[in-house]
Amino acid sequence: MNNKVTIDLISSLKNKRKITMLTAYDYPTACLVDKAGIDIILVGDSLANVVLGLESTTQVGMPEMLHHAKAVRRAVKNSLLIGDMPYSSYQLNSDECVTNAQKFITEAGCQGVKLEWFDNCLKVTEQIIQAQIPVMGHIGLTPQTADKIGGFKCQGKDAQTANRLINQAVELEKKGCFAIVLECLPDKIAELITKKNKNSDYWYRFRNSL
């Protein structure tokens, strides 16, 4: 029996059951996560902190991300695999965003990529999706640009920033994101975003260190 999770399958499950996602950085962890039946595995750039001992996710680059994504790919039989694009691969030089996204697909065997919100996010998202690469968005606490949003703390706690996050989610959905990570938002704001947007899936995530 083929239990392979695809983008189309994820889309078909919306509003039908909970959709699960976990992060994995290596082969043994990915084996366990995949066997547990988790729908989506994210190879997160947080490996900079928790695996490589770096101070910031901005310090990890494409070589490291592709190396770990390949290791995870060898373990995954069923889960949908998403590669987290590192800061330098699309924010420092957006002209290289499609080329770098394609490497996650062709070299690492991922089925899509994740992008954190930044000033030029919508343009980059559009370019990658036009290249036929599925994109998962990420708003709220965005570690790659935490220094620009007040640090590692809950986002959207006032009306102005809450409205901005809601609008970001709407715009990402319009560009064609199949899913959006909502990191460290008030639960009411996450609920509003989820109800307002009908075509994308959402993962609401807290960081235990906050």
**145 exposure class (CB count in 10 Å sphere: 0-12, 13-18, 19+):** middle
How do strand 40-43 and strand 21-23 relate by DSSP bridges? parallel
Among this protein's residues, is 107 annotated catalytic? no
Euclidean distance between CA atoms 185 and 27, whole angstroms:
31
**Exactly one of 96, 107, 183, 191 is catalytic; which is it?**
183
- For residues 116-140, one letter each, b for 16 or more C-beta atoms within 10 angstroms of the residue's C-beta and e for the rest, the string is bbbeebbebbebbbeeebbbbbbbb
> Which residues are catalytic, by number?
183
